Amino acid sequence: MQRNLDIFIEELMADEEFRDSFFRNPFSTLRQAADWGLPISESEIRALIAANPAVWERVADEVESRLQLAA
């Protein structure tokens, strides 16, 4: 299960459209992840939804800036 959560978070960080979808409708986005074969536990879902959206944006910005430096 932990790997599924890692993959989901990686997708949140890498895909701005997916992240925006998660902010607008997290349950729908989490169902989409389950359709990909990434089942996420109820406790993980609650934690993802409870997190402040600004956290995801800040982390995504940091990851993007590090990738640009590496290129």
Per-residue pLDDT at 71: 67
Rg (CA), the chain: 12
Whether the pLDDT of residue 68 is over 80: the answer is no
Lowest mean pLDDT among 7-16, 50-59, 62-71: 62-71
Q: How far apart are CA 45 and CA 12, in angstroms?
A: 14
Distances, alpha carbon 56 to alpha carbons 3, 27, 37, 63, 71, in Å: 18, 16, 22, 10, 23
Range of the domain at 61: 2-70
pLDDT digit string (tens) for 13-49? 888 898 899 989 988 888 888 888 888 888 888 888 8
Q: What pTM was computed for the model? A: 0.73
